[in-house]
Every structure is written in structure tokens, then in C-alpha cells.
């Protein structure tokens, strides 16, 4: 290739790039990995003639760190409930007033006046679920409705357990295991929590994601993980059973928010309104298998989600579930230190 | 009138100036892109940590550096040596050293084999060694998961052959990390080894045999001293990236068997302790520099002996 053709190719490449960028609107979504239905994105792109890019993150802290660092180029982020107040306090979110949007009437009353966003001035429900136990019943046949599965694992499961690497969920279950309350500062109890986790960790195989692939394949025999992912595992491998930790389990909701420095805030608002439509909300759930917070979306859900044991909490375990709240910065700092102690 | 010596000196300064000018673009890039960020890191390591990551600008604090080596108990505030960091450091050093030794053991015969082929076929062999570089490291690491996981190639094969009845747990162990690093860094050892073996004068080996040296003696006293620069270059190329490995321990170690790279990443992510992360990064760099100095001094010594 001589320099002339080289230059011509480069010029064409530049043209092609700028051409596509200028064609229509854009929307950059920053969301948890393996969480966004490509069909939903395609439908939104077609409906509003917007090019959507989805980028993954793997934890609330990663997302927060990246956006705080600046220069990220994202419009939308999907933080968990207990992190939303931090995002708001740090001045990272746009007050998009989704409560005044056309489709807001579809949001289930249960999810309107929520503690992290009273009256929904910033965020729109994406999905909600809980952390529970998934066990391969071929490996272990005992009681799985307990956090002991990963905190005091039975011999059959030692060395085959995967625990989600999300600090708040793991600490919540362990604090509840010792009868404490979330956000407690009781040092004696927290010491027990730390010692138990330090003792239990060598009995785990990993603290990783990709459960939907490795649990059904037999790489993990048990997990402490989010219910939707365990449902997806069970669809692939019917031996996977779901347990609700009777000592206490955390409930989460991830909500869609618009970043203050978004470059495409109007498209982001369109997206907010779009996902509050029952049919579209059902698309979100159909992929990641968690419940959404939109009334009337049940009618559009795929058959394998209706009456799924992972999504239908039995009456006896309903009380054990509790919403993760944001603890004070001091308590959070204490918890982070415990978590770092465990993760070393 | 200028004397001959003066003209010569003038010519010399002229050459020196031209050399500096010619190397300026590279030097500027190195200073702006590499040395500059290092100073940012150094500054960050001496600041107080922010509540949700980041640092508090202008607030001087030694906490970051303190936590590299010591830890304060969460509950009774007693100060002890940060054994967690030390054990991660030790794991990194140990795995990197073993990786270096293994790649030498595997790479040496490979390079020797290539160097002793006829000239026109050598290129093909070298070309074959570089093929893995065509694929992204991340993809190769995930592909390796498929080989070593419980339902993967190795375990399926061993079970089909009846050698084992329970799958071997290779995934998520230090073995998996070691396996991955040896595989990924082996070409970086083979290539410099081959480069110095290619220059090896094989008549010296013949001369050795003529003087009744055994095979081992020829290897130890002729081949190895002559290709030592290649071994040193290869070891540097393997040891340093191994020490800072991030992707391989993350993907094959399951996020539980941390190496220094992962420890640093954790401080900038969920650990929310940027000063500590910066301090550990600088510690790692100092370690690498000490190792390099050690290698270089060794190399120049042996060069003087054999040159």
C-alpha cells in the first residue's frame, strides 16, 4: 500500500466514523454486566432512532469510582438502592423528575415512595430481587434455607462454593446470621461477623460472577447469589434448588438514573419513560430473570418466570427479607474495613 | 582561526545537539505519558482518602503508606504487620519466580531446537511461536478456563480414560494462575533466547567435544554462559509482567487468590482507598526496579568475564 491509498483509506475511515456519530442521537448506558436485554435495546433504538451503547460494570463501587473519576461519557447508570443516596449526595445525578413522565402511572405503588428516592425524583425501577442460596441437589440434599450453606458449609460443599463479591449483601447475611441488625455498630457482634467470614472464606472456591454459566455446568456446587441468576441456572440444570436464608436475606432494587454530566439527557429521559411501559419492563425481566417494579408487566413475562420458586417468596420466609438501606458514612467505613480484612 | 581541536569539539557538540533533538519526540512522550502520571501517583499516595474513593486534595496523610506495611485492627486498634499484604506480595513473587524458571526450562530446548534448524526453516518456527499473540490475552485466558475447568478438556479426558473419577480442581487455584502465566509468557522467553542462540558459534561446541567434554559439561560451560544474555533478557520480560499480572489471576484465580495487580485494583474499586492503591503501585515499581538493577549488574559482570 503506498502513501496515497493509505491516506485515502484513513480519510474514509475518519469519514465513516464521524458519519455514524453524527447520524442520529446516541445513548450510553452504564449497567451491571449480563443484565441488559439486547432485544430491549433494539426495540428502543428502532422506536427513537437512537444508537445505544451498553457498557458493563461488576459492582456498585466500580461504577461509582469510574463515574467520579470523570470523562466517562455515560448518560445512564443503574445503581442499587443503598447506593442511590450516595450518588445523589455526591451530586452525580440529574433530577430528571421521572415522576412527571407519561408512563410513571405504571410504577407499582410499592416502589414509588422508596427510602432512597422519595417520590422518585431521580430514578426509575429497573429490577429487584434478593440474595439467596443456590445448591446443586445432586451434591447436597440437606436443608438449604440457611446462610450456613456458605458460612458453616456442610462437608459435601466445602471447596465448591461461590459467594457474590458484593460487600453489603455478604455482610448483611452474616450480621443476620448472628442475630444482629443491618447498620449495627455493635463491635462485639461485628467481630464475630469478621471472624466467621475469615474462617469461612478458605472453604469457598471463588468470589466471582458468571454463576449463570458455572453453577449449571457443575463448576460450583453452591452459591450465595442473586435469585435471578440462580433461576437462569435452574432453567439450564433442573438439579439447582433455591433456598431463602431463614436468618435473614437482603432485598435489592437497582434503579435507572441519569448522570448530571450526561451528553444525551433527552434520550436518557426517553429511555426512562420507555422502560416504565409494562411490555418493555417485561423484556428487562425476561432476560435477567428478576422482577421489575411495573404493574401489568406480568402478562408479558415468559412462561418460565411465572410461579418460579426463586421469585415467589414463601410466606414463612417473607419476614426474613429486608431491604438494604444506606448506613451512615462512619458505619460504612467500619464495614469497608471489615470487608478489606476479609478480602486480603 | 580555530585550531583543529576546537573544530573537532565544535563538531562534537553539534552531533550531541542533533542527537538530543532527534530523541526529543520519544523523550517527551516518555516524560508526559509515563513519568508525569508517576508523580500524580506519588502525590496521591500521600493524601487522605476520600469517603467514596478518590482522595481529599491537599490533605497530607501517611495512612496510605502506613497501610502498605502495617494494619490497625478494626476492633481493638492494635497495630500489626500487614500480613495480608505480605502474603499477597509473597504469592506474587513466588508465582512470578516459578513462572520464570518454568519458562526457562521449557523455552531453552525450544529455542535450541529452532536455532539448530536450517536457516530457511527457522523463520517458520519463530513465526509459529508468535501465533498466540494474534489473539487478545483476555480471550486466551477465558479459553484456558475451558481447558482446566471441572467439565473442561483435561478433566473430561482424564475421566474418559478412567484415570480419575472425580474432577481435579484446577480452576481457582494457584496452579491455574501458574499454568496461565507460563502459557502466556512462554513466547517472551523463547524469542530472546533464540536471538542469542542464533548467534552462538557452534564450532565452539564441536571444539568442546573434541577436547573430551561431556554433553552436560558442554551445556554448562559453553552453551549456557554464551546465551546468558538471552536468559537474562527473557527472565526480565517474563518476571516483570508476571509480578503485575492482573487478568490471569482475576479470571483463573476466581477473585480469591489475589496477586499484587488485583490488590491494587481492589483499592481503587471496592476498597475505596486510593492512597493505599497508589502506595502499593509504587512499592511494586520499586521492587521491579531493584530486580532489574540486580539483573543488569549481574549481566554486566558476566559480560566482562566472557566478552
Residues B98 and B178 sit within 8 Å (Cβ to Cβ): yes
| Shortest alpha-carbon distance between residue B273 and chain A (Å) | 10
Residues B18 and B35 in one domain: yes
Domain boundary among B55, B79, B103: B79
Query: Grid coordinates representing B8?
Result: 573537532
State which residues form the domain around A92.
3-128+253-305
Residues B21 and B164 in one domain: no
pLDDT value at A147 more than 60: yes
Question: Is B22 a member of any domain?
Answer: yes
B74 chain-A contacts, CB cut-off 8 A: 190-191, 194, 334, 337-338, 341
Flag if B270 and A165 touch (Cβ within 8 Å).
Answer: yes
Number of domains in chain A: 2
Residues A215 and A317 in one domain: yes
Residues B88 and B43 in one domain: no
Burial of A48 (0-12, 13-18, 19+ CB in 10 A): middle
* Cβ count near B41 (within 10 Å): 17
Residues B46 and B145 in one domain: no
Model confidence band, residue A15 (pLDDT cutoffs 50, 70, 90): very low
Residues A133 and A230 in one domain: yes
Question: Is B194 a member of any domain?
Answer: yes
Model confidence band, residue A309 (pLDDT cutoffs 50, 70, 90): very high
Question: Is B108 a member of any domain?
Answer: yes
State which residues form the domain around B293.
84-306
Q: Does B270 touch chain A (CB under 8 A)?
A: yes
Separation between Cα atoms, residue A165 and residue A161, nearest integer Å:
12
Burial of B239 (0-12, 13-18, 19+ CB in 10 A): buried
Q: Which of A33, A56, A65 to mutate to test the interface with B (most CBs of B within 10 A)?
A: A65
Give the pLDDT of residue B67: 87
Query: Grid coordinates representing A161?
Result: 462454593
Give the pLDDT of residue A24: 65
Flag if A344 and B258 touch (Cβ within 8 Å).
Answer: yes
Residues B42 and B132 in one domain: no
- Which residue has cell 525450544? B110
Nearest chain A residue (CA) to B53: A65
| Shortest alpha-carbon distance between residue A270 and chain B (Å) | 30
Query: Grid coordinates representing A35?
Result: 443484565
Flag if B256 and A204 touch (Cβ within 8 Å).
Answer: yes
Residues A243 and A337 in one domain: yes
Residues B68 and B119 in one domain: no
Residues B227 and B100 in one domain: yes
Q: What secondary structure, in 3-state letters, does A202-254 show?
A: HHEEECCCCHHHHHHHCCCCEEEEEHHHHHHHHHHCCCEEEECCCCCEEEEEE
A218 chain-B contacts, CB cut-off 8 A: 150-151, 167
Residues B70 and B146 in one domain: no
Residues A204 and A300 in one domain: no
Number of domains in chain B: 2
From A61, A190, A206, residue closest to B256, measured CB to CB: A206
Residues A79 and A137 in one domain: no
Residues A235 and A263 in one domain: no
Question: Is B2 a member of any domain?
Answer: no
Residues A202 and A277 in one domain: no
B149 chain-A contacts, CB cut-off 8 A: 214, 217, 219
Q: Which residues contact B192 (CB under 8 A, 6 or more apart)?
A: B230, B233, B234, B237
CA-wise closest residue to B259 among B102, B120, B137, B91: B91
Q: pLDDT tens-digit profile of A72-128?
A: 899 999 999 989 999 999 999 999 999 999 999 999 999 999 999 999 999 999 999
Residues B75 and B161 sit within 8 Å (Cβ to Cβ): no
Residues A209 and A299 in one domain: no
Residues B264 and B128 in one domain: yes
Give the pLDDT of residue B269: 76
Separation between Cα atoms, residue A79 and residue A254, nearest integer Å:
5
From A90, A218, A341, residue closest to B151, measured CB to CB: A218
Q: Which residues contact A215 (CB under 8 A, 6 or more apart)?
A: A134, A136, A162, A223, A225, A229, A230, A233, A237, A240
Residues B34 and B51 in one domain: yes
Residue A224 sits in a domain whose CATH number is 3.40.190.10
Q: pLDDT tens-digit profile of B53-71?
A: 778 888 899 988 998 888 8
Q: What is the ipTM of this complex?
A: 0.72
Amino acid at each position: 500500500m503506498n502513501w496515497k491509498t493509505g491516506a485515502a483509506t484513513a480519510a474514509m475511515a475518519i469519514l465513516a466514523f464521524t458519519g455514524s456519530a453524527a447520524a442520529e442521537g446516541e445513548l450510553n448506558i452504564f449497567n451491571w454486566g449480563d443484565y441488559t436485554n439486547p432485544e430491549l435495546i433494539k426495540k428502543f433504538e428502532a422506536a427513537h432512532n437512537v444508537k445505544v451503547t451498553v457498557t458493563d460494570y461488576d459492582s456498585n463501587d466500580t461504577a461509582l469510582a469510574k463515574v467520579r473519576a470523570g470523562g466517562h461519557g455515560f448518560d445512564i447508570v443503574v445503581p442499587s438502592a443503598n447506593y442511590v443516596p450516595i450518588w445523589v449526595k455526591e451530586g452525580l445525578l440529574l433530577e430528571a423528575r421521572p415522576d412527571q413522565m407519561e408512563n410513571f402511572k405504571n410504577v407499582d405503588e410499592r416502589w414509588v415512595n422508596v427510602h432512597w428516592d422519595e417520590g422518585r425524583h431521580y430514578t426509575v425501577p429497573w429490577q429487584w430481587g434478593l440474595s439467596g442460596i443456590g445448591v446443586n441437589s445432586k451434591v447436597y440434599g440437606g436443608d438449604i434455607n440457611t446462610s450456613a450453606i456458605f458460612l458453616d458449609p456442610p462437608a459435601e460443599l466445602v471447596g465448591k462454593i461461590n459467594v457474590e463479591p458484593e460487600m453489603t449483601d455478604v455482610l448483611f447475611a452474616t450480621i443476620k446470621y448472628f442475630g444482629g441488625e443491618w447498620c449495627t455498630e455493635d463491635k462485639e457482634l461485628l467481630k464475630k461477623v469478621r471472624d466467621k467470614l475469615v474462617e469461612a472464606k478458605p472453604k469457598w472456591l471463588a468470589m466471582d460472577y458468571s454463576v449463570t454459566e458455572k453453577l449449571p455446568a457443575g463448576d460450583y456446587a453452591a452459591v450465595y447469589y442473586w435469585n435471578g441468576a440462580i433461576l437462569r441456572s435452574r432453567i439450564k440444570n433442573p438439579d439447582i434448588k433455591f433456598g431463602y436464608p431463614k436468618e435473614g436475606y437482603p432485598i435489592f432494587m437497582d434503579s435507572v438514573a441519569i448522570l448530571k454530566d450526561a451528553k444525551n439527557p433527552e434520550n436518557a429521559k426517553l429511555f426512562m419513560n420507555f422502560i416504565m411501559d409494562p411490555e418493555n419492563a417485561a423484556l428487562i425481566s425476561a432476560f435477567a430473570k428478576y422482577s421489575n417494579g411495573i404493574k401489568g408487566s406480568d402478562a408479558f413475562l415468559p412462561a418460565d418466570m411465572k410461579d418460579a420458586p426463586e421469585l415467589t417468596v414463601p410466606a414463612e420466609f417473607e419476614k426474613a427479607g429486608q431491604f438494604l438501606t444506606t448506613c451512615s458514612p462512619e458505619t460504612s467505613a467500619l464495614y469497608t474495613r471489615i470487608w478489606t480484612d476479609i478480602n486480603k | 582561526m580555530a585550531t583543529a581541536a576546537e573544530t573537532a569539539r565544535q563538531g562534537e557538540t553539534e552531533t550531541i545537539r542533533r542527537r538530543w533533538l532527534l530523541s526529543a519526540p520519544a523523550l517527551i512522550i516518555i516524560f508526559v505519558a509515563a513519568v508525569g502520571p508517576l508523580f500524580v501517583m506519588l502525590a496521591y499516595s500521600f493524601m487522605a482518602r476520600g469517603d467514596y474513593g478518590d482522595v481529599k486534595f491537599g490533605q497530607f496523610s501517611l495512612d496510605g503508606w502506613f497501610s502498605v506495611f502495617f494494619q490497625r485492627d478494626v476492633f481493638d486498634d492494635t497495630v500489626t504487620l500487614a500480613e495480608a499484604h505480605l502474603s499477597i506480595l509473597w504469592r506474587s513473587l513466588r508465582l512470578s519466580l516459578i513462572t520464570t524458571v518454568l519458562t526457562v526450562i521449557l523455552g531453552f530446548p525450544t529455542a535450541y531446537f529452532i536455532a539448530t534448524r536450517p536457516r530457511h526453516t527457522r523463520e517458520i518456527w519463530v513465526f509459529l511461536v508468535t501465533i498466540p499473540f494474534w489473539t487478545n490475552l483476555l480471550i486466551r485466558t477465558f479459553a484456558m478456563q475451558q481447558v482446566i475447568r471441572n467439565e473442561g478438556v483435561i478433566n473430561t479426558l482424564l475421566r474418559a480414560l478412567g484415570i480419575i473419577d472425580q474432577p481435579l480442581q484446577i480452576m481457582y487455584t494457584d496452579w491455574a494462575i501458574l499454568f496461565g502465566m507460563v502459557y502466556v509468557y512462554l513466547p517472551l522467553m523463547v524469542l530472546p533466547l533464540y536471538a542469542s542462540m542464533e548467534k552462538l558459534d557452534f564450532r565452539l561446541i564441536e571444539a568442546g567435544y573434541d577436547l573430551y567434554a561431556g554433553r552436560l559439561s558442554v551445556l554448562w560451560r559453553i552453551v549456557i554462559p554464551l546465551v546468558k544474555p538471552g536468559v537474562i533478557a527473557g527472565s526480565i520480560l517474563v518476571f516483570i509482567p508476571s509480578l503485575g499480572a492482573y487478568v490471569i489471576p482475576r479470571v483463573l484465580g476466581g477473585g480469591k487468590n489475589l496477586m499484587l495487580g488485583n490488590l491494587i485494583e481492589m483499592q481503587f474499586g471496592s476498597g475505596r482507598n486510593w492512597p493505599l492503591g497508589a502506595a502499593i503501585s509504587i512499592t511494586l515499581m520499586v521492587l521491579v526496579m531493584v530486580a532489574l538493577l540486580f539483573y543488569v549488574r549481574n549481566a554486566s559482570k558476566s559480560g566482562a568475564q566472557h566478552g
